[in-house]
Structure 1
Amino acid sequence: MPDSTARTGLVELAAAEKDGCEHALERLLAHVHVHVVRACRRWLAGIGDGAAEEVAQEALVRIAAGLQTCRAGTDEVLFAWCHAVARHAAMDRLREHLREWEVRALGDELAEVECGADADERSAAVGALLAVLHEALGTEPEAVHALLWHRVVRRDSWEEVGHALGLTAAGAKRRFQRTVARVRRKVERLLAQGDDPGRTDARRWLARQRHGLMAGKA
């Protein structure tokens, strides 16, 4: 957030808005807008074009809606409050995408090699696989989702993953490897259940990938 020289008068604008001044809220939001956008771009880097700007607009709406209950007595405290509102808006957006990212990224881990199948067959098989993977991940504890978030989504180093989870780098790597192996087995069990054609296609597709992987290692 900016230094105090850029914040002069914001508490006064907030007070004026509460007293019914027509333009006070507009002026206050204009002051904080650029800083909210900048913070959202940093937090949401890689989420997709336009996401930071969308979340920044949502944050400004929340700031406007909550200003009447804000009890900040200084510009610094008011900016900290705005920063917290923006952070919560960004976290909400990240939560919306987290499960989808985990499923698709871990799907890459499960496949291990590029698919050589026909494009239509690949699309159907991968679609079924991702649906099963979504089901498998739905029963995993929060600690697993945190691990996948840092390593698969954020692409953190093992040192960074370990620091976030209270592990050594080697410990984080071992936990990740065990997690992938366990989820892979869970997916295989789910794929083997029932006679759904999509799951049958996914089983065949995975079998071909493993065969191709082993042939490449021979």
Structure 2
Amino acid sequence: MPDSTARTGLVDLAAAAKDGCEHALERLLAHVHVHVVRSCRAWLAGVGDGAAEEVAQEALVRIATGIHTCRAGTDDVLFAWCRAVARNAAMDRLREHLREWEVRALGDEFAEVEGDPDAAERSQAVSAVLAVLDEALGTEPEAVHALLWHRVVRQDSWEEAAHALGLTAAGAKRRFQRTVARVRRKVECALTGSDDPARVAARRWLALQGHGLTAGKW
């Protein structure tokens, strides 16, 4: 019986891998490895040393364990599927860093002062705002997370962010403005529609910071 791994097409290698041929799976991963790494480096530029390579390895693991779910009928479609798996892994990492940035940013804005009698309430308020903001961002598509990463965390110019996302600068601005308005509405709804003590504290502290929810300033 001829060795199925002698075939060089990606679809053929995937078919053999689904049949349990580990050598075929290894060859498939070797084919896409460099492209996965290159894509992760582009998506995760500025995240940190080694992050792209680490996420690329995670993406390859996801490809290996999920190959049986791929229904690609051509090499181009299979390659696009592998790239989509890598993009999902990269977006997961971006979301993690966005949350870390949120914690640092709000922590700076509501910095506790030693001996401050309101420190406990402030801490409760910050936790509530973070939770609500995390919920709001969690419902946004990955394209929005990528845009926020480039504009808010990396502080790229509109042109740089647009280039990274395949948009025009004007298009990136419109998407950002719509996102801010949408997330603001979600946060306002979550905070004003609850009598939870932590969220009440959050409303009070936001008001002290000049972000009165009822006035639509937040």
1:58 paired to 2:62: yes
Distance 1:203 1:84, change over 3 A: same
Q: Which residue of the partner structure matches residue 201 of structure 2?
A: 201
1:121 positional shift? 4.5
Q: Which has the higher contact order (CA 8 A, sep 6+)?
A: 1
**Where do 5+ consecutive residues of structure 1 fail to align?**
1-7, 212-218
Distance in 2 (CA, whole Å) between partners of 1:175 and 1:71 is 34
Q: Which residue of the partner structure matches residue 216 of structure 2?
A: none
Contact 1:115/1:209 (8 A) holds in 2: no
Distance in 2 (CA, whole Å) between partners of 1:24 and 1:141 is 36
Distance 1:117 1:35, change over 3 A: same
Q: Which residue of the partner structure matches residue 10 of structure 1?
A: 8
The residue type equivalent to 1:160 in the other structure is: E
Distance in 1 (CA, whole Å) between partners of 2:135 and 2:90 is 20
Give 1 or 2 for the bigger CA radius of gyration. Answer: 1
Q: So what's the TM-score if we normalise by structure 2?
A: 0.56
Aligned length: 193
The residue type equivalent to 2:55 in the other structure is: A
1:101-180 matches, within 5 Å, as: 111=106, 114-117=109-112, 121-137=121-137, 147-148=147-148, 150-152=150-152, 155-162=155-162, 164=165, 167-168=168-169, 172-173=172-173, 176=176, 180=180
1:86 positional shift? 2.2
Secondary structure at the counterpart of residue 148 of structure 1: helix
Q: Which residue of the partner structure matches residue 191 of structure 1?
A: 191
Distance in 2 (CA, whole Å) between partners of 1:190 and 1:16 is 48
Distance in 1 (CA, whole Å) between partners of 2:182 and 2:14 is 56
Contact 1:125/1:199 (8 A) holds in 2: yes
The residue type equivalent to 2:58 in the other structure is: E
Distance in 2 (CA, whole Å) between partners of 1:16 and 1:193 is 53
The residue type equivalent to 2:85 in the other structure is: A
1:202 positional shift? 1.4
Distance 1:155 1:197, change over 3 A: same
The residue type equivalent to 1:31 in the other structure is: A
Aligned identity (percent) is 44
Distance 1:84 1:185, change over 3 A: closer
**Where do 5+ consecutive residues of structure 2 fail to align?**
1-5, 114-118, 212-218
Superposition RMSD in Å: 4.9
Contact 1:124/1:201 (8 A) holds in 2: yes
Q: So what's the TM-score if we normalise by structure 1?
A: 0.56
Contact 1:136/1:186 (8 A) holds in 2: yes
Q: Which residue of the partner structure matches residue 216 of structure 1?
A: none
Q: Which residue of the partner structure matches residue 89 of structure 1?
A: 85
The residue type equivalent to 2:193 in the other structure is: Q
Distance 1:17 1:182, change over 3 A: closer
Secondary structure at the counterpart of residue 10 of structure 1: coil
The answer to which of 96-105 and 113-122 deviates more is: 96-105
